Amino acid sequence: MFRLIPLLCCCLFILPLSAQKRNDAFQLHIRKTTTPLKIDGVVDEEAWQKADIASNFHMVLPMDTSAAHLRTDVRMTYDDKYLYLLVENYTEGDGPYMVESLRRDFAFLKNDNFLLFMDPFDDQTNGFSFGANAAGAQWDGLMYDGGKVDLSWDNKWVSVVKNYPDKWVFEAAIPFKTIRYKKGITKWGINFSRNDLKTTEKSAWAPVPRQFPTASLAYTGNLIWDAPPPAAGPNISLIPYALGGISKDYDKQTKTKYRRDAGIDAKVAVTSSLNLDLTVNPDFSQVDVDKQVTNLDRFELFYPEKRQFFLENGDQLSNFGYSTIRPFFSRRIGLGGVPIRFGARLSGKLNKDWRLGIMNMETGKQEETGLPAQNFTVAAIQRRVFSRSNLGFIFINKESINYSPEKESGLPIYNRYNRNAGLEYNLASSNNFWTGKAMLLKSYTPGLSTKDWAHAANLQYTSKTWSIGWQHEYVGSNYNAEVGYVPRKGYFKMAPQITHLFFPVSGSILSHGPQLTSTWIFNEGAFSRTDNETMLNYGIVFRKRNTLNVWASNTYIKLLTPFDPTNLGKDSLLTGSQHNWNTIGADYVSKPQSLFTYALSARYGGYYANGNRLMTNTELGYRFQPYVSIALSANYNYIELPKPWGNTSFWLVGPRLDVTMTNTLFFTGFMQYNGQQKNMNLNTRFQWRYRPASDLFIVYTDNYLPEPFFVKNRALVLKLVYWFNI
């Protein structure tokens, strides 16, 4: 029976879908201005007086069946170089605007804000987002998968927010060179979204059902141009950097190292919708450090990519597959002391239906481990089918350069090459109620020729009251994705889930309802059960947007390899041993409009070897808006096990300080104490955005051994980045 499931799901995916656009009647006409505009948040220019107004917003939350309570007026115009936007966000009542800080790319739900979602190909799949919060912090990102926003994208544009007694005005100028669009097209998909925390109202110009984000491109209206937008013209940007640094490893008692380095990135607009990115000797020293976790898992943990070169327009490559079956994971390139020599990426739209992504990176040799110099190539092409679905192909090649294993005596032997090829179909119905994915992958590695493929599929139905989904996965025991993230092999997995929501007409509760999920994992060979977790959750969303979840679960695990349940190296449970336990838990997140916010979670239940585990997690935050934000996270695990492990406790504590003196001057201090790793990490970063997209960074990092207190290593880096257009 299980063999038929992939076939049934794939048959569902190829059903044709309606191509009708949901909000086609919503139109905003945009006309070219011949008078100059000053970006100052003042509505006094002639161009704004003549511009059409998008008003009469629709409420999305708390209800999506009425007009918005707050008034929002949007105007747009353009000239030969810029697309202009002016928004009047009217307010009610006394009290300050609610914002986190002046930091760029803020959290949507924790700020009074306005966002623009733009689909310049009108394909309801990819686009751009721009916006600001009520204090003037900018938001910008690339849109993908029909409604997700990648905030790592950072480009040159200007904006101002000006506050008045009854409204706040957001005015922006977006260069045509900043965005990508099809030449000659005169209709773009567009929508506007506003979030107001005092009234807890989220609204949109073109109506969006409340089960979907307002970023959903399936529900955009239309921006109608009076003439085709002007060609962006030659668009080449050079972004050089120079840095100096000093570091010392006290643990290894090495000499102080001095660092002087330079590199350059380049962005070349091949066409108005296709971009070439180049990098030589890139540096990522200013990137946020990873948020540590207490590791009680049997498999490799996932840490997200934060380096901007790999993130910008990278969704076509990095999002291929599933969260636990990624054939390409960019963190495999250039981390752990491996230098990146150079790289190139060509990405964007070939036309409305075809999308392309090609990346090539080369790393140098790491002398300590003998890891050879390597070349990484990944190529993906995507074809839109039906209204919003697409079919994609990916190829990944990792090749060692000038590497002869027999000559590397005394060092680990690495594969000369590893390759992966895959097909993927992404389903998205015109109204977004049906979504899904089907995927097939094959790996090629010297010495491995059977059970070297992977398959997965899922189908999800989401309405206002029901969410029903099915997902299954198969990964062969010899499937090998050396440039991917596949923590587990040799298994078949099934994961159905169902959720039902109730919406009271009045009262303090916005929605509530149960969710049932069950995950079953079977061994590839004997098809015997090795893992099973079934969870029943009841969730409550209050009208003030605070949330409460209570849940209970049953877990069964049959170990296929020895495992230390504390991950401290004390001893290991035997292969084949079986473990079963029950757990209860609760999670609460406070309302976001308070200056003091908090999130609390706890779980208690059984654990391996008839043991017990208590886990609590606390997230506290206070903001002196808009300049200072203080946060503290504290995670505690207490594990009771028989000997030789005994009782073990782990603390993971992370205070964080964010100071945004202006919207161009930032300071972040972040400390993490990890009791499991016996390490204390301090990371501070000062950033001055002295010109649009040009920065000065000063980054200081310390690692300590807490008991006894001892400095393990420390480093200081000063980095200057300058962006200029040719």
Considering the domain boundaries, does residue 139 fall inside one? yes
Considering the domain boundaries, does residue 273 fall inside one? no
Same domain, 310 and 187: no
Q: What is the pTM of this model?
A: 0.87
Considering the domain boundaries, does residue 595 fall inside one? no
The residues, any chain, with a CB within 8 Å of residue 416's CB and separated by 6 or more, are 399, 400, 403, 405, 446
pLDDT at 145: 85
Residue ranges in 251-387 assigned as alpha helix (H): 308-311, 315-318
Same domain, 305 and 419: yes
Same domain, 351 and 432: yes
Q: How far is CA 607 from CA 294, 583, 604, 638, in A?
A: 15, 9, 9, 11
Considering the domain boundaries, does residue 240 fall inside one? no
Domain boundary among 207, 225, 243: 225
646: its two tokens? 């005994």
- Grouped pLDDT means (10 residues each) for the chain, 726 residues: 40 46 91 91 92 95 91 96 95 81 85 94 89 93 88 85 94 90 88 94 95 93 93 83 94 90 92 88 89 91 87 83 95 87 92 91 83 93 90 96 68 82 94 94 90 96 96 96 95 97 91 97 91 97 94 97 92 95 98 92 97 97 90 96 94 94 91 92 94 92 85 95 88
Decide: 135 and 169 in contact? Cβ < 8 Å: no
Nearest to 471 by CA among 449, 438, 440: 438
Domain boundary among 225, 247, 276: 225
Same domain, 193 and 299: no
Domain that holds residue 214: 4-225
pLDDT at 520: 98
CATH of the domain at 73: 2.60.40.1190
Q: How far apart are CA 34 and CA 655, in angstroms?
A: 52
The residues, any chain, with a CB within 8 Å of residue 424's CB and separated by 6 or more, are 320, 321, 391, 392, 393, 394, 437, 438, 439, 440
Domain count, the chain: 2
Sign of CA dihedral 204, 207, 213, 218: negative
Residue 618, SS3 per DSSP = strand
Same domain, 57 and 204: yes
Considering the domain boundaries, does residue 155 fall inside one? yes
Same domain, 191 and 86: yes
Same domain, 72 and 196: yes
Same domain, 301 and 153: no
Considering the domain boundaries, does residue 138 fall inside one? yes
Considering the domain boundaries, does residue 267 fall inside one? no
Same domain, 367 and 452: yes
Q: How far apart are CA 627 and CA 708, in angstroms?
A: 36
Same domain, 80 and 186: yes
Same domain, 214 and 302: no
On the 0-12 / 13-18 / 19+ scale of CB atoms within 10 A, 255 is: exposed
Decide: 189 and 124 in contact? Cβ < 8 Å: yes
Domain boundary among 183, 205, 225: 225
Query: What type of residue sits at position 681?
Result: N
On the 0-12 / 13-18 / 19+ scale of CB atoms within 10 A, 233 is: exposed
Residue 108, SS3 per DSSP = helix
Considering the domain boundaries, does residue 576 fall inside one? no
